[in-house]
A and B are shown apart, each in its own frame.
Chain A
Amino acid sequence: MNLLGQIALLFGKLSLLAVGGANSTVPEIARITVGQKHWLSASQFSQFYAIANTAPGPNVMIVTVIGAHVAGVAGGLVATAAMVLPAGITASIVAALFDKHREARWRRLAQAALLPITAGLVLAAACLLARQSDTGWLPAALTFATALLTWRTRLHPLWLLGAGALAGLLFL
């Protein structure tokens, strides 16, 4: 299959598995794009995640950067469309159908059942990114300090990313 087809298929499939948000799919995206298809290295994956976080917009855009790396601008656009369309269409239909059933038990049930899965996946995603990008004590310290500040304060992420880039520029 050609590259664009592979990109569309991969992210189209992941779209409907992104429980609790796009970050839940980060371990799976890394497993396939780095481990199976060898489209990029583990270190590049962390850098792409960082680039996607530096730009404004929703955090699905890790797939835009990966798509662009693999197959240029067309690859980025196909990856983005594949990642948002299946889930978005599903959300539109379900929202229209169940607008009247706000208090339905299925909704509370689905939410309660998905929450622990989301929690496990976002923590796995974070540890994976940390393992891929922490190659020495300084990157590890940056990760640790940023995690603490993000968790405990309302400091804007752009300040942290700027400080991290500067620290890398000066000391790495």
Chain B
Amino acid sequence: MPQTPPARPKLSHKALFGGFFMAGIMGFGGVLPIIRRVIVDERRWLTQMEFNELFSLCQSLPGANVVNLSFAFGAREAGVSGAAAAVTGLLAAPVAIVLGLAGLYARYGAVAPVRHALLGLAATAAGLALGSGLRIAVPILKIPRNVLLAAAVYGLAFGLHLSLPVIVLLMLPLSLALAWRAVP
């Protein structure tokens, strides 16, 4: 079977770890823009189109999108150990930092000024979740059937506190059935 020759040699584990490490440590408030810059603009590991394809695949699968992307990209480049290199690269610094913050919280979280700052921080983070949620949701809700489905999911999760497996089990077949007629 004819195959297009690879444009470049496969990446080393060191390169994978290094690239994803940079993306992880610089990814404040969302890793996607940074990871795109590292992979597409700076290191030219993928073209923008290739990146879009891989990312859209990772988005349609469960899990954190950028983590999935580092798994899939690392595995494609250097197999299982490549995936391990990319993912540990991505997560090493953030996990270390967040564990440090959790340790500080355990020690100082109850001290009055820290507690007050954390209350303000939490309220702001809730706003971030709402703002980015709206960014995600509003374009999706331009399709009428999505409004009904999303409202039902919202009600089941926020109003009735149903468990996530139950919500997915209830709503995914319905959503698939409706999409079946709409998607060519």
Q: Which of B7-15, B39-47, B60-68 contacts A (4 or more CB under 8 A)?
A: B60-68
- Contact indicator A51/B131 (Cβ below 8 Å): no
Chain B: interface residue count, which band?
35 or more
Chain B residue nearest to A91 (CB atoms) is: B68
Interchain Cβ contacts within 8 Å, total number: 400
- Contact indicator B164/A14 (Cβ below 8 Å): yes
Whether A147 touches B130, Cβ cut-off 8 Å, given contacts A21-B65, A120-B153, is yes
- Chain A interface, number of residues (Cβ within 8 angstroms): 115
Chain B residue nearest to A84 (CB atoms) is: B67
Residues of A within 8 A of B171 (CB): 117, 120
- What mask results when residues 53 to 93 of chain B are scored 1 for a CB within 8 Å of chain A, else 0? 11011111111111111111011100000010001001101
- Contact indicator B97/A129 (Cβ below 8 Å): no
- Contact indicator B120/A117 (Cβ below 8 Å): no
Cα of A124 to Cα of B101 in the assembled complex, Å = 26
Q: Which of A57, A94, A114, A124 contacts B98 (CB 8 A)?
A: A57
Q: Which of A18, A46, A150 contacts B122 (CB 8 A)?
A: A46
- Contact indicator A51/B105 (Cβ below 8 Å): yes
Q: Which of A23-43 contact B (CB under 8 A)?
A: 23-28, 31, 35, 43
Q: Which of B30, B66, B126, B149 contacts A116 (CB 8 A)?
A: B149
Q: Which of B135-156 contact A (CB under 8 A)?
A: 135-137, 140-141, 145-147, 149-154, 156
Cα of A160 to Cα of B127 in the assembled complex, Å = 9
Other than the given A92-B83, A165-B121, 12 more pairs (CB < 8 A) read A24-B164, A54-B101, A61-B95, A65-B98, A83-B64, A84-B67, A120-B156, A124-B157, A124-B158, A146-B131, A150-B134, A161-B124
* Residue positions of A touching B, CB distance < 8 A: 13-28, 31, 35, 43, 46-61, 64-65, 68-69, 73, 76-77, 80, 83-84, 86-92, 94-96, 98-99, 102, 105, 107-130, 132-135, 138-140, 142-152, 156-158, 160-161, 163-169, 171-172
* Residue positions of B touching A, CB distance < 8 A: 24-31, 53-54, 56-72, 74-76, 83, 87, 90-91, 93-95, 97-99, 101-103, 105-106, 109, 113, 116-137, 140-141, 145-147, 149-154, 156-158, 161, 163-165, 167-168, 171-172, 175-176, 178-180, 182-184
